Copies of this chain bind each other. A is one copy, B any other.
Amino acid sequence: MKEDKELYEFFSKSEKRFQPGLSIDSVIFGFSDNQLKVLLNKLKRMELWALAGGFVLKNEHLDDAATRILRERTGLSNIFLNQFYVFGEPNRSDKKFHIKRMQQVGWPVQKDYWLLQRFITIGYYALVNFSNVEAKRDYMSDVCDWYDIHDLPPMIIDHGNILNKALEVLRTQLKYQPIGYNLLPQKFTMPELQKLYETILDAKLDRRNFQRKMLGYGILKKLEKRREGGAHKAPYLYSFDLKKYHKALKEGLHGAW
């Protein structure tokens, strides 16, 4: 099969091309319409899913490698990735998994082969609007698709753990960095913004407290027009004050000292 040949070639060429013992895995969170999803690849011939992961070329900057890997594995580009943590448990790699794939394509298994050593992986994450992006699978995968974070399929090695850590970092980040631009429509209501936070935090928030906090950050502009067409009193529309939003991205939501 074509993919067997491609995998065999990957095994032959990779040892020379890539930095030893080092991989990158990216957790791409997608928000749209009050749903939080994550982008996963289903591996061919296995009922196992994986983050968008790969290796670092010997002369490649880590951030460039993360961008390239994401593009190669999912077809996505122009996504800003944040490095968030290094995963380095000594036994985190699954050698049996690699050996199985080597045997499937007839690659001679040797104990000192590059891929059978210990790998540490650098975790990156991003949060995008998943209705704007269409992911494409690569030759190693059957499917590349968005999965609800409450209903995740079985994942290889520590990828579930990497995903959880990324989610934890994302939730912490909500407390000191603005979020929402590119995830919400240009004009939105306070309940819509609250829903974004509730979806990421997976928790119900107090309406008044949320509104007070949000307005206190000073990153919102209240618009003249209210949303029309509802049965109830029309809610106010807001948009982000982009200058203040970007200032808060840099200095933190609670302002400079």
Task: Give the B-binding residues of A (Cβ under 8 A).
Answer: 19-22, 56, 58-62, 83, 85-86, 88-90, 117-118, 120, 122, 172, 174-176, 197, 201, 203, 205, 209-210, 252, 254, 257
**A61 proximity list for chain B (CB < 8 A):** 88-90
**Is the pair A120, B89 in contact by a Cβ cutoff of 8 Å?**
no
Q: How many copies does the complex hold?
A: 2
User: In the assembly, what is the distance between CA of A56 and CA of B122, in Å?
Assistant: 15
What 7 pairs across the A-B complex have the smallest Cβ distances? A62-B88, A20-B20, A175-B252, A176-B176, A59-B90, A205-B257, A86-B122
**A90 proximity list for chain B (CB < 8 A):** 58-61
**Is the pair B172, A252 in contact by a Cβ cutoff of 8 Å?**
yes
Minimum CB–CB distance for A202 against chain B, Å: 11
User: In the assembly, what is the distance between CA of A19 and CA of B257, in Å?
Assistant: 42
Q: Which residue of B lies closest to A197 (CB)?
A: B257
**Is the pair A203, B120 in contact by a Cβ cutoff of 8 Å?**
no
Among B20, B22, B120, the residue within 8 A (CB) of A62 is B120
28 contacts between A and B (CB under 8 A): A19-B118, A19-B120, A20-B20, A20-B21, A21-B21, A21-B22, A22-B22, A56-B88, A58-B90, A58-B118, A59-B90, A59-B118, A61-B88, A61-B90, A62-B120, A83-B85, A86-B86, A86-B122, A172-B252, A175-B176, A176-B176, A176-B252, A176-B254, A197-B257, A201-B257, A205-B257, A209-B257, A210-B257
